């Protein structure tokens, strides 16, 4: 049985906790604490530690889903989990103050994962906020990365089907890279 660790990252309110809840087959574990950063987000609680859930793909592949804290002051946790991760679902809320800037920042922060694994971008809260177009997001991705294939979708983090599409496209990407690497190794 193959196991994958997939991370969920993105700004506060991007829908990380919600997405993991929508996907997980087990009761998710979320560590929330009082939000002390009301200027950035007017929420009562915010994720300071981790969200955790699990989903099985097919009958074999167990996927461990970890939601990372959105605030940079917790970014030591990003690094610890990044070492174990094969892929990243990067969620950006369309109603963030500067969603394209946030996207570029997160892509830079997780650059190691484009090279080693895969990234998929999900744009959330597009139903409630008029923000940049998918084309704008795709352009930011093209500018921020060199030649990485990073799909971008509009998703609703509350919708399990949307999130499964997102996750499956990421896993397909990861597996095709692994297959390619294997072929190259055999040919060498």
Ligand X SMILES: Nc1nc2c(ncn2[C@@H]2O[C@H](COP(=O)(O)OP(=O)(O)O)[C@@H](O)[C@H]2O)c(=O)[nH]1
Q: Does the footprint of ligand X cover residue 13 (CB under 6 A)?
A: yes
Q: Does the footprint of ligand X cover residue 125 (CB under 6 A)?
A: yes
173's tokens: 């990407």
Selected from 22, 24, 102, 124, the binder of ligand X by CB under 6 A is 124
Q: Are strands 87-93 and 3-9 parallel, antiparallel or unpaired?
A: parallel
CA 110 to CA 115: how far, in whole Å? 10
Q: Sort 104 into a burial class: Cβ within 10 Å, 0-12 / 13-18 / 19+.
A: middle
CB closer to ligand X, 39 vs 60 = 39
Selected from 22, 28, 47, 102, the binder of Mg ion by CB under 5 A is 47
Piece in contact with ligand X (CB under 6 A), picked from 15-23, 81-89, 112-120, 173-181:
15-23
Alpha helices in the chain (DSSP H): 16-23, 76-84, 99-109, 111-116, 134-144, 160-187
Query: At its nearest, how many Å lie between Mg ion and the CB of residue 47?
Result: 3
Q: Which does 131 bind (CB under 5 to 8 A by kind): ligand X, Mg ion, none?
A: none
Residues from 27 through 66 that contact ligand X (CB under 6 A) = 47
Selected from 4, 13, 17, 121, the binder of Mg ion by CB under 5 A is 17
Query: At its nearest, how many Å lie between Mg ion and the CB of residue 30?
Result: 7
Q: Does the footprint of Mg ion cover residue 22 (CB under 5 A)?
A: no
**Which strand (E) or helix (H) includes residue 47?**
strand 45-57
Query: At its nearest, how many Å lie between Mg ion and the CB of residue 17?
Result: 3
Selected from 88, 107, 117, 156, the binder of ligand X by CB under 6 A is 156
Scanning the structure block, which residue is given the tokens 């190259």?
184
CA 166 to CA 122: how far, in whole Å? 7
CA 32 to CA 9: how far, in whole Å? 15
CB atoms within 10 A of CB 176: 12
- Using CB under 6 A as the criterion, which residues of the chain lie in contact with ligand X when the complex forms? 10, 12-18, 47, 70, 124-125, 127-128, 156-158
Binding site for Mg ion (CB under 5 A): 16-17, 47
């Amino acid at each position: 049985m193959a196991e994958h660790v997939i991370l969920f990252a993105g700004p506060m309110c991007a829908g990380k906790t919600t997405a993991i809840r929508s996907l997980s087959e087990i009761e998710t574990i979320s560590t929330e604490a009082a939000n002390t950063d009301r200027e950035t987000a007017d929420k009562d609680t915010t994720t300071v530690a981790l969200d955790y859930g699990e989903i099985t793909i097919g009958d074999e592949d167990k996927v461990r889903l970890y939601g990372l804290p959105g605030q940079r002051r917790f970014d030591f946790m990003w690094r610890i989990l990044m070492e174990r991760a094969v892929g990243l679902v990067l969620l950006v809320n369309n109603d963030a103050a500067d969603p394209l800037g946030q996207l570029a920042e997160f892509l830079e922060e997780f650059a190691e994962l484009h090279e080693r694994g895969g990234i998929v971008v999900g744009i959330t809260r597009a139903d409630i906020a008029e923000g940049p177009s998918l084309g704008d997001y795709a352009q930011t991705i093209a500018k921020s990365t060199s030649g990485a294939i990073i799909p971008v979708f509009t998703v609703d983090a509350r919708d399990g089907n949307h999130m499964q599409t997102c996750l499956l496209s990421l896993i397909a990407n990861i597996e095709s890279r692994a297959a390619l690497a294997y072929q190259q190794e055999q040919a060498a």
